[in-house]
Structure formats: C-alpha cells, structure tokens
Structure 1
Amino acid sequence: MSGVRMWIWGVAGACAGAVVLPGVAPAAPAPAPEADLAFHGTAVLAGDRAVVKLTPRDNGPAAVTGATVRLRWSVESAEPQRLPARCAREDARTVVCGTGAPAVHGAGAELTVPVRLKGRPSEVTLETDTAWGGGAVDRNRANDRLKVLVLNTGDAYAF
C-alpha cells in the first residue's frame, strides 16, 4: 500500500507546477528566424577520388548560428575514409559536414571534402542539401538542394 501512496504523491507533485488562469492564453512560442542558406562550389572526379569544394552563404534576413551540409554520391564510398575533422559519414554514400556560421548576406569559409569512391566510376551524381540550418527556417530550398553530374575527367563541375 505504501507504493500506491508514493505514486499518488508523485502525480500530485508533478501537477502542482501547472497553473491555469481563466481567460489567459498560454504564450505562443517565438517564431523561428528565417535565413536563406545556399551552397555553391565545384566537384571533381579523377579515378576513384572525388573532391568537393563548397562555400556556404547566408542570404538572410537572420543570422545562422551554424549549419550542416549533406553530400550524397550515387556511388558508395570506399573504406577507410579520411574526412576533414568537421565531417562524418552518414552512410555508405553520404557525408555530413559542419559549415560554421556564415555572416548574414555573406559567405562562410570554404569547405574541401575529399572522398574515395568504390571502383572507378565513369560518372557520379552529387546531391547537396542542408541537413541542419541552425534552427532557422529556409523558405528557398532551391539554392541548397542541388544535383550535379560529375564525369571522371578531372574537370571541375560547378554547382
């Protein structure tokens, strides 16, 4: 019976902090800031190595405290990988990288991501996307969700 009394006191204690006043609506949460993130750069495929260089940009109006870009290849990457410190594998075809906080209406630091791919594909498709936007709402996803076909020529393909 003592276990039942403890449970009743626990429920009463949990409910004691909730106070509802008639005619007073609870405060609405603050709206998320709006920021337009964009990623532009180049991708090169030579042999089994793909190298992506990209620069994040915050087109505003709000500042972004930090963002994460997702890079997904149409071909699996080889084992093992040596990725930059701010990057990690999400799965066999995907890498996510922290981009830092670009200035509002400005560009952030360039990010270089080298990846070894399985085999020697004649071409790959690279897709970029914002994995995390620092809590900001991005209503223009067209400039951060991109696809680029990269041929195994050693040439740089811009996106």
Structure 2
Amino acid sequence: MVRSAGGRGGYGPREEVVAVRGGAVGGVVVAGLLVLSGAGPAGAWAGPEADVAYHGRVRLAQGQLRVWMVPQNEGPSAVPNATVRVRLSADLADRQELAGGCARVGRREVVCETGALPEHGRGRHIGLVLELRDRPAEVAVRIDTWWDGGATDRNRANNEHVVLALDTGDPYAF
C-alpha cells in the first residue's frame, strides 16, 4: 500500500541527534545542519525553485527493513544538496550500520544527504539496511524532504510518501 502524505502534522516533535556513523563525514555534515542551523521542513527559506522527488522501494523481512531510493530534481533549478528523512512506525535497534552521508536522528528516524541534484537530473542512490528493535508484522515508512538546500519546492506530492511494508519480504514501490 502506497499513498502520498497529505501534510506535515501528526509525526511528533523533532528529536535530538542520538547517533552518527563513525567516519561518515557526510553524516556529520547532515547532523550539523540539523542541530546548528535549526533546519526545518523543506520550503522554510525562499530560494531558487526546484522539484525534488523520491522513487524507490522498501522491504521488511524478519525485523530488518531495507530502503532503496533515488532522489531526483525535475527543475527548474539545480539543488547543491538536500536531506531526505525516513521515519518509521517502529523503533530502530540500538546499533545501526548506516550508509555514508546518513545519520540517525531519533528512535525511529534516519536522514541522508542526497548529494547534488542537477536540474532535470538524479542524485546518488541511497540504500539503507535498518535493524528494528522488535520484529513487527508491518512498518509504516514515511519519506520526505527534511532540508532542501535553500530551494523552494511547490510540488510536495512527489517527495512525501507513506509506504506500508508487511513482514513478507516483498518489495513495496513508491
């Protein structure tokens, strides 16, 4: 089941950074942006206009959630970097091995930098293997832009997704 999220409310307050993968320079940059600059939801600052989108899939099997996505920008302006947020309905395990450029920002949240998003182009592929504290029968995965590099994005329909993943090992696309 896939549906677009209709707004920002209902996901709880922002949490402090609780873990950053050691040696992940990009993850430290992301965490620094979140804590030091008070970066908030996309569109908080006026800037060049872009249309960031995320396409990918999620898969849940035996307490392990895999998320794979490709960020892209439909334009009209390039975005030097952005941050995608992945929020879960289940708690993450205490220890996580996160991809470079990614940081854990709460019990149920991970953020990853997208890298440069050229006008009408794609960013780097983002792959996460997230260990969950328990083995839930299903997990709701919310994907959205946390920081947009100062760009204005008027089309949120393609960068805010909610995917329900059942513990079947089947991939669910968004």
Shorter-chain TM-score range: 0.7 to 0.9
Aligned AA (2:162): K
Q: Which whole-Å CA distance do the structure 1 matches of 2:48 and 2:139 have between them?
A: 35
Q: Scaled by the length of structure 1, what TM-score is found?
A: 0.79
Aligned to 2:80: 65
Give SS of 1:100's match: coil
Structure 1: give runs of 5+ residues left out of the alignment: 1-30
Q: Which whole-Å CA distance do the structure 2 matches of 1:138 and 1:69 have between them?
A: 14
- The reply to whether residue 124 of structure 1 matches residue 129 of structure 2 is no
Runs of 4+, deviation exceeding 2 Å:
none
Aligned to 1:143: 158
Give SS of 1:60's match: coil
Q: Please, which of 68, 71, 75 is the counterpart of residue 90 of structure 2?
A: 75
How many residues align structurally?
129
Q: Please, which of 76, 87, 90 is the counterpart of residue 102 of structure 2?
A: 87
Give SS of 2:157's match: helix
Q: Which whole-Å CA distance do the structure 2 matches of 1:157 and 1:137 have between them?
A: 29
Higher relative contact order (CA 8 A, sep 6+): 2
- The reply to whether residue 35 of structure 1 matches residue 33 of structure 2 is no
User: How far did residue 62 of structure 1 move?
Assistant: 0.4
Structure 2: give runs of 5+ residues left out of the alignment: 1-45
Bigger share in strand: 1
Q: Which whole-Å CA distance do the structure 2 matches of 1:77 and 1:60 have between them?
A: 34
Aligned AA (1:62): S
Q: Please, which of 87, 91, 97 is the counterpart of residue 112 of structure 2?
A: 97
Q: Which whole-Å CA distance do the structure 2 matches of 1:46 and 1:158 have between them?
A: 15
Q: Which whole-Å CA distance do the structure 2 matches of 1:134 and 1:68 have between them?
A: 8
Q: Which whole-Å CA distance do the structure 1 matches of 2:160 and 2:72 have between them?
A: 13
User: How far did residue 108 of structure 1 move?
Assistant: 1.6
User: How far did residue 135 of structure 1 move?
Assistant: 0.5
Aligned to 2:127: 112
